[in-house]
Amino acid sequence: MVGVVAYLISPVDLVPDPILILGWTDDLVVITVAMWLLGKAIPPEVKAEIEGPK
């Protein structure tokens, strides 16, 4: 997660941000992948506790 934050605040991007829509796309992909990986890293017990009783 530290690497994701560093990438997002870094002036060096795969696609420069001044290129309007394409510049933001790489940041959105990085955020999406990071959130997916974070979701995979959460143990099932914690996810069940967060969801509450069914």
pLDDT of residue 54: 66
pLDDT of 32 reads 94
Q: What predicted TM-score, i.e. pTM, was given to this entire model?
A: 0.66
Spell out the domain ranges in the chain: 2-7+16-51
Largest CA distance in the chain: 47
Report the chain (54 residues): mean pLDDT per 10 consecutive residues: 84 76 84 92 89 75
Question: What amino acid occupies position 45?
Answer: E
Residues ≥6 apart with Cβ < 8 Å to 52: none
Q: Residue 18's pLDDT is what?
A: 76
**Measured torsion, CA atoms of residues 6, 32, 37, 39, in degrees rounded to the nearest 10:** 120
